Structure formats: C-alpha cells, structure tokens
Structure 1
Amino acid sequence: MKVFGLKHISALGIMTAMLTVSSCVQDLDRQPFYDITSATVYNDPANYKKILAKVYAGLAVSGQQGPAGQPDISGIDEGFSTYLRQYWKAQELPTDEAVIGWNDGSLPDYHRMTWTSSNEFIAAMYNRLYYQIALCNEFIRETTDDKLSSRGITGTTATEAKAYRAEVRFLRALSYYHALDMFGNVPFVTENDAVGSFLPKQTTRAELFNYVESELKAIENDLVAARQNEYGRADKAAAWTLLTKLYLNAQVYIGQAKYTEAITYAAKVIGAGYTLDPEYRKLFLADNNKSPEMIFPVTFDGQNTKTYGGMTFLVHAPVGGSMNPADFGINGGWGGVRTTKNIVNLFSDPTGRIDKRAMFYTTGQNLEIADISTFTDGYAITKYKNITSGGAKGSDLTGDFVDTDFPLFRLADVYLMYAEAVVRGGSGGTTAQALQYVNALRQRAYGNTTGNVTALTLDFILQERARELYWEGHRRTDLIRFGKFTDASYVWPWKGNVKDGKGVADNLNLFPIPATDIVANPNLKQNPGY
C-alpha cells in the first residue's frame, strides 16, 4: 500500500548495497554472499533505485530477509537491532515519556540512567548509525559525475541518478545529525575515504555540526521540490526541517545560539504547502501515508517490511494487561512500554476540557510506577495502531506486521520549533505568528478555541511539545535543550534509579562511545565521565 519502500528492491540490489560498504566499526565487517561487485551493479542504472530503496530501508528493517535471518549488524538480537527501534529507545526510555518492563541485558539501564560504555543497546544504536553511513557513502561514491560519465550514463538517466545521490546525502546527514546529538565527538568517514579496513579519525562536535549544515545546504537545489517526491522519500522540506532542528539545538551542540536561522528554515517548511491533519489520531494509523502533515516518514508495510523493530515494536510493545490487541489491529500485545505520571499530568485540566491528544489506557493500570517490570504500573498509551482511519486492519492479516508509518518529521513539530525559536529571541518571526501556530495545534486538540493561549513561555512550549509529540522520538533532545534532562529541578519516576527520581550527572547528556570501538580504534577518545 506504500508508494516507496522495500518492494522496490530486488535481491541483487539488497545484496550489493550490503556487500560493497566499508564499515568504520570493526565488528560490522561483512563477508560477501555472492560474487558481485560495485562495478557489475552500478554499470546498470536500472539498479540505482533498488539500491536507493535499500538505503531508505536501513531506517526501518534489520537485515536481508524479514523479519530475521540475515542481520545487518551483529552483537544484538536482530529484532532489537533496527535503526528506528534503537533510536526510539535512546530518545524515549531515558525520559519521562516512557518506561519498558523488559529486563533484556542492559535495557533497564536506559530509564535508570545508569548506562556505561558496555551497554549493548547503546552500541547497537552507534553501530546502526555507522552501518547506515557506510551504505550512504558507497552510493555517493559510485554515482559521482565522473563515474556516471565513465559508464556512459548521460541525459535524463544521469539527472535522475544525481537526484538520488542528493537524497542519499540527506540520509547520511540525518545519521550524522543523530550521531552529533547522541554521541558528540565521533568517528568521521565519507565517500572520499578508501574502501577497506582503516581507523577513522574522530571529529569534534563543532566540526560535525558544520559538516551537517554544509551538506544540507549543498544539496538543497538538487533535491526535489517540497511535496513533489514519491511518498517516503526526502525532498527540500525534509532538508529544511533537519536544518531547523540543527539550528534550534545549536546552543547545546556548539555553544552558539542560531535561533534566527531556525526561524528562517522553519518558515521555509511552513510556506511549502503542508497542512495540519484535521484529526490528530489519524497521524498514527495504518493509512497515515495519506496525511497532509507528513514531511518525512520512516515507511512500513505489513507485506514488504517485515521486522520486529520499527513500527511493529511501537504498535505491539505498548499493548498488555487488559488491553484488547484486536483494537490495535494486531494478534497480540508484548506488554512492555508505558508512560509516567509526568506525561499524564500534563493533560490535567481543572475546567474539564478534553485534549484529544491524551491517548491513555487506564483500566487496570496504576498511575504510579512501583515496579517498572510490571506492565500494569504506569498508564499504557494507545497512540499507534495498525488500523486505518476507516477501521480496516493492516495488510498483514495475521496481525504480526504493520502498515503504520513513523512520523519522523511532521508539520506540528515545525510549528513548535518556530514558536520556540521566537521565544528564545530569534529574529525573522513574530510572537503573534508563533501564537497562531501553537493555537492551531490546540484547536485541533480541543476541537474549538477553548484551549487557546494568549502568551508563550519556554516552560509552556516544553510541555506543549510533550503533549503534541510524545513517543515520536523527540523527548531526550528536548529535555537536554531545556536543561532538564539531568538536572534535579525536574525529575520523574525512577530517574536516576530512584522511585521518586533524582538529578544525575551532566555527562549523561551524551551517550558513551561504545567500549568495543574505543578498544578497536586508538584514534578515539571517550566522552567525559565514562
């Protein structure tokens, strides 16, 4: 049912993209499955879109066959290993938005905030980032203007290949942005580095910030115009949204405020013709590919993207206790993920008004979390479903795998970033316009203007981001930007491994470089405090 995804990839395209990459993490080295090379595949431009699809699929699936059997990376259960599943856990589990009841390995350390450089889930996130970067580097390396010309690829075909290359550069910038945000000073490798075993140098956070910024600006003119690409593929608006995020967090990343730049690029996105989905709930259903609000999703399809990570995880894992899996279009719940009272309390309204974004399952659930491993401690969240807006089940009639896409970038986030940048003092925007954007979200939430606000503060914006964007992979970054992730001034249940929560060390604002990579690469220095 999706326009662009794994259904575009042949076995040849998958295998070649996998085999020709050079990893900068030693334990990701792969052995060829077939006797094929970059030369034999890239000589035929008909393969380019298939390989492009594999690069996009790197955000969603775990390996060469779904849902398991030929994993991309080693060192962790394949179902755990997908990019989106690991990214979501890293962004949500250490915060007030989510707890998970499973005791797999070092997974509980995320919410306790007791992780070390030996945490295998942090290592999986790191390894997945660099696997994705390696895929991107190979595509970019093999589609340079010179190589296209040497293969006799000209005209419309060459123009199309260059457009693909710009999209892959966006995807690489996205992964480097995630590395910048989560790990800070990291290994750096591009298409200009030789293929094979080598030890990459470590770049600084400031250098990586500049690189991501320069890449996104460099490809702007080569990307398809906003809202004109196939669904699920990057366009100019995706690059503008990522630049907005980069600039909004610049004070954290490089110690320089760039709120004016954030306003500039948010305004570009807003002016591109996206509109809010009339119903909030439809953004998280099996046909959310129809939403006019979606800027850049990670796409899933119950027939073609069979994985135990990604949205399969996000639809199944929150279902447990007395919840009925059929209400979510699935064959069974995994009884894992809930939220804390902090998020529930954000929706408290003494006037009795109902915010439709409050999607909690409370029957048999306790608001207080006495034991994280007990599913009924903590309210469940019903946000993601494998059911269409018309009530139909997803395409996988077994109920195992889902059609719901993950809204990585959507318009509501851009509205809130614009408003925050204005409140923080950026130029080029107005308070009146910021209020209009925020109230548009609240009018959708309440169904009328009764929830409108007349003034904006930073505290309110942080709360509104949680109300609007919870469980969409923003919370860790948001709390760090607002100085509340480690600080004792804001706590939640089991923060710092204490039932009522406590402040933790500031070094936790960055994850550690995995110990395995520190040992393997003498060029790397560990992040402070680990």
Structure 2
Amino acid sequence: MRIQATTRLGVVGVLLLAAVAACNNDLTVQPKSTITSANIFNDTASYRAFLAKLYAGLVVTGQSGPDGNPDIGGIDEGFSQYVRGYWQLQELPTDEAIIGWGDIGLPELNIQTWSSSNPFVTAMYSRIFYQVALGNQFLRETTDEKLAARGTSASLTTRVHQYRAEARFLRALSYWHALDLFGNVPLVDENFDISQLPKQATRTDVFSFVESELKAILAQLPTTKGGEYGRADQAAVNMVLAHLYLNAKVYTGTDRSTDARAAVEKVISSGAYSLDPTFRRMFSANNNTSPELIFAVPQDGVHTRTWGGMTYLVHAGVGGNMNATSFGIDGGWWGLRLRPETVDRYEGGAGGPDHRTSFFFTDGQTKTITDIGNFQQGIGAPKYTNVTTGGQAGSNATFPDTDYPMFRLADAYLVYAEAVLRGGGGDRATALGYVNAIRERAYGGAAGDITDAQLTLPFILDERSRELLWEGFRRQDLIRFGQFTDAGIWTFKGGAPLGKLTQSFRNLYPIPANELSANPNIKQNPGY
C-alpha cells in the first residue's frame, strides 16, 4: 500500500526516534533506551511519532532504511524483521512451506530440529521484547501526571489516551506471540523496575495479562473500522481475543471456545467487513482496498523499506521459470515452495476446481521433494505479489507496496465454525453457512459446498490450511489439533524424506541461550 506521509500515521515519523538504542538480545534483562522526556517529548508531534515507531516495529528493522542501523544486533538485519520472523516460526516447520536456503539455523526450522542457539528463534524472541520495551517506555512517558507536568493541552491529552490504548494493544499482540511461541516468558510492564532482573511468568499468567489488557482497552479504541487503516480498532482487539481464546486449551488447559465465538461474533456482526469477491486482491499491492481485511501491517515501497515482511514473502516465493516482472519485482529469491501434502489438500491439486490454487506454479516444478535445496522441487506458490489486481506494478521493484494481512473475515468465519464445533455455543447452521460462503468464492459457485455431516473439526483444520495458506497460522492450528509433533507426518518432518514424528516438547520453541545466560531467573522449556 502506498503510504501518503502527509495523511497517515507514517512510519517516516520514526526518524524522530533515532535515539532509540539498538538491542543486543537482552531486552528482558535491561531494556536500554536513550529516550527521555527531555529529548523526545519536547514537542507535541513526538507522541504521535513515538506511536508510529511502535507500529513500525512490526515492519522496519532499524533507524536507517532497510538496513544499516539495526534495532536487533547479532543477526542479518532482514532476518530480524518481525513479520518475517513470526511467519517463519509459524510456517516453515509445518506441512505448508519449505525453504531451500542454507543460512545457519534455517534448515533446522524446515525439519523441526532447532536448538536454543538458533539465530532465527533468538531474533524473534528479541524482536518481541524490543517491541515490549518500546511500548513500556511510551506508557511510562505518557501518564496523566507527566502530561500535566509538561502542560499538555486537554485535546492532546485526549489523543494521547487513545495512543496509550494502541500501545497497549501492540504490547498485548507481542505478548500473545510470546506465549504462543515460547510459553513461560518474562512479564514486564511499564511499572517494572528495570534495574531488577525480571522473573519468569507462567503461560497462564501471560495469558491472563494479555486478556485483561485487551479487555481494558477495548472501549478506548475506535469502533470497528472507525479509525485509520493499519491502526488498532475494536475489531483488531476482538480478533486477537478470539485467537487467544481459541487456543486457550493449549495455553492454559482450560477450554474457552465460548469466549472465542463471542469475540469473533462481534467482528462478524458489525457488518463492517465482507468477503472480498476478488480473492487475489488480499495478497496484491492494492490489498488496502479489500473489504475483507480486519487488521493489516502496512508496507510501502517508498517509506517502509525492509528486507523482511512482504519483501521476503513476495521475493522468496519466486524463482525457477517464473517471470519476476509479472510479480512486480526485480528478481526472485528462489526460496519458498509448497510441501506436497498441502497441494494434495485441495480438490484436484494444482489446477483443480478450487480457484485458491490459481497462483500455484507448476511449470518446471515437481510436486515431490527429495532435495530441499532445489527450488524446482515443490510446487511454487507466489501467493503474495507486488502488482495490483489491475495489473499495475508497485512503486518499487525491490520493496513491495503489499500489506501483510494479519486478520481477515474468512479467518473470523472459520474461528466461529471451529468454536461452535468445540461446544462454544452459537449456531451450527450459521457456521455451515460461513464455511460454504468461503468455499463458494473458492469454487465460483456452489460446487464446493459441504453438507452438515461434513462439517467436522478435521475438515476445519484442512479448510483453514486451504483458505489461510501461508498467512502465519499453520503451526498454531496443528498444535491445537494435536498434529504438529508427535502426530502428523509430512515430507521432511523430523529430517526424514518421507517424514517422521518428532517429540512433543517442540510444540514450544526454546528460550534463547543468551537470555538464560543473562538472567538466572529464566528457566529453559522442557526438552531443550
């Protein structure tokens, strides 16, 4: 999406925040920053600029364009980008994606053999807590007492109250990612004494914190679709709550399907969103115009350049006989392909009647994979593109204008259906209607409709993969259905060409080794 710097919460505003110190992977021990009320909050625009930095933390990786002054030290700057790191940890170890590169730590993600020193695991952990540290700093500097001491006007104080709610949303989002990926993690808010070493909170405690934060800020945010695109509103909060509750049995041992259904119902019943009649638009350079996107991470080829995010997702899926210019880019990176089990999940496979396979690329590609490093083994899936649905290339051939679609209506429909099937109340006929609405778009009519008898939990797991392919949900879904480690077999799982079971401790990633060295209060997850 092209961002107009004069009208949007432009991440160009982060230039005002170049004083933020880079992280050396010890943020939970001592979040370091040179931000003070003296050098940042000396004009009213600084509050908005700081909030821009918080949103930008999901996109950019440092203080100087795509690289050169990174937030996270010790790893290639592009590797440390938030969306890229999160996507890789949720997709690469699953039956959906495989990547052919040999960068240290990446092959281990393909085959579920990572260790506590894996640089990609470490980078994601560090990125999460960098976001948390920035959010905490913003909240410390925007209390009513500090605003009053600075003589802040009543109108600006009101705006800052909303900014604080958005900062708490972004912090809660990161803590949801932390508890999902790592389990028991340090829980540090704006009231924590940063001169002390934080203690490790249980996964249940982190869950409760995220839930309470999201519920507390709900009324302080714009109504559903009532704010600026790419910023948090009540629908974004309810989508995080819905996923938090849907996975609560995994996180806490307590089923919260009723709450998941209630949260997602609020999004659906708002009437603010509709299924996009053009499926491909949601993954194209004009996806900011889609009526289906609920919360997206905006990216722009001029103002938000990064080697992660959509730059990675667009380029890494292109290679072989594909023409890079047809995807609006200056070259493919020959990386990501589909594992064969996912291709077979669609009726008729690639080229079948399910139009969601329309972007599958088969020319010169084999479905089977015997050599992970060979890009032309594995069906190509250039789902994300830097071209609009009207055929116009993005503003930059290296850095796409395409936004990352974190939550969309089809996901909400499938959350509702799953919650109903798990005993969360609601209406089974409504759930069936939602699923068939998704499938009618996919098939161009009723040919793909299912019956009530076919609406089962295993079907929902498969349908989530078909509909939400490569959107960052698969690991989480497989764990919720008990199919990620000690059940479920797919190509190269566990390092075996035909796949093999792995140990269930890998349902969580390890706490990075350097975090354990820096803070004796932190204990490693079992099995590592």
Q: Judge same fold: TM > 0.5, yes or no.
A: yes
* Pair 1:445-2:442 in alignment: yes
User: In structure 1, what is the Cα distance between the partners aligned to 2:140 and 2:292?
Assistant: 34
Partner of 1:15: 18
Which consecutive unaligned segments of at least 5 residues does structure 1 have? none
User: In structure 2, what is the Cα distance between the partners aligned to 1:83 and 1:66?
Assistant: 15
Cα distance change of structure 1 residues 20 and 491 upon mapping to structure 2, 3 Å threshold: closer
Cα distance change of structure 1 residues 60 and 228 upon mapping to structure 2, 3 Å threshold: same
User: In structure 2, what is the Cα distance between the partners aligned to 1:7 and 1:461?
Assistant: 37
Paired amino acid for 1:89: Q
Partner of 1:362: 362
Mapped contact 2:61–2:67 kept (Cα < 8 A): yes
Alignment of 1:152-163 (within 5 A): 152-163=151-162
User: In structure 2, what is the Cα distance between the partners aligned to 1:22 and 1:308?
Assistant: 20
Alignment of 1:5-154 (within 5 A): 6-9=10-13, 11-12=15-16, 14-16=17-19, 18-19=20-21, 25=27, 37-154=36-153
* Pair 1:465-2:468 in alignment: no
Mapped contact 2:183–2:202 kept (Cα < 8 A): yes
**Alignment partner for residue 268 of structure 1, among 266, 269, 280?**
266
Cα distance change of structure 1 residues 21 and 136 upon mapping to structure 2, 3 Å threshold: farther
Alpha-carbon RMSD: 1.8
Pairwise CA distance, 1:50: 1.1
Pairwise CA distance, 1:154: 3.4
Query: TM-score if structure 1 supplies the norm length?
Result: 0.95
User: In structure 1, what is the Cα distance between the partners aligned to 2:28 and 2:255?
Assistant: 37
Cα distance change of structure 1 residues 423 and 165 upon mapping to structure 2, 3 Å threshold: same
Mapped contact 1:93–1:99 kept (Cα < 8 A): yes
Paired amino acid for 2:424: G
Pairwise CA distance, 1:27: 9.1
User: In structure 1, what is the Cα distance between the partners aligned to 2:24 and 2:144?
Assistant: 21
**Alignment partner for residue 245 of structure 1, among 239, 243, 246?**
243
Paired amino acid for 2:382: T
Query: TM-score if structure 2 supplies the norm length?
Result: 0.95
Cα distance change of structure 1 residues 23 and 78 upon mapping to structure 2, 3 Å threshold: closer
Deviations 1:267-326 (CA, angstroms, capped at 9, x unpaired): 001112211111111100001001111111111000011111000000000111111101
SS at match of 2:223: coil
The more displaced of 309-318 and 39-48 is: 39-48
Alignment of 1:408-419 (within 5 A): 408-419=406-417
Partner of 2:3: 2
Partner of 2:252: 254
* Pair 1:401-2:402 in alignment: no
Mapped contact 1:27–1:74 kept (Cα < 8 A): no
Deviations 1:18-44 (CA, angstroms, capped at 9, x unpaired): 249998537986675xxx733332242
User: In structure 2, what is the Cα distance between the partners aligned to 1:40 and 1:241?
Assistant: 36
Mapped contact 1:338–1:381 kept (Cα < 8 A): yes
Mapped contact 1:28–1:73 kept (Cα < 8 A): no
* Pair 1:346-2:345 in alignment: yes
Cα distance change of structure 1 residues 136 and 121 upon mapping to structure 2, 3 Å threshold: same
Partner of 1:431: 428
Mapped contact 1:22–1:134 kept (Cα < 8 A): no
Mapped contact 1:136–1:172 kept (Cα < 8 A): yes
SS at match of 2:355: coil
* Pair 1:214-2:212 in alignment: yes
Mapped contact 1:293–1:410 kept (Cα < 8 A): yes
Partner of 1:232: 230
SS at match of 2:40: helix
The more displaced of 384-393 and 145-154 is: 145-154
Pairwise CA distance, 1:382: 2.0
Cα distance change of structure 1 residues 324 and 407 upon mapping to structure 2, 3 Å threshold: same
SS at match of 1:296: strand
Cα distance change of structure 1 residues 346 and 21 upon mapping to structure 2, 3 Å threshold: closer
Paired amino acid for 2:3: K
Aligned length, in residue pairs: 519
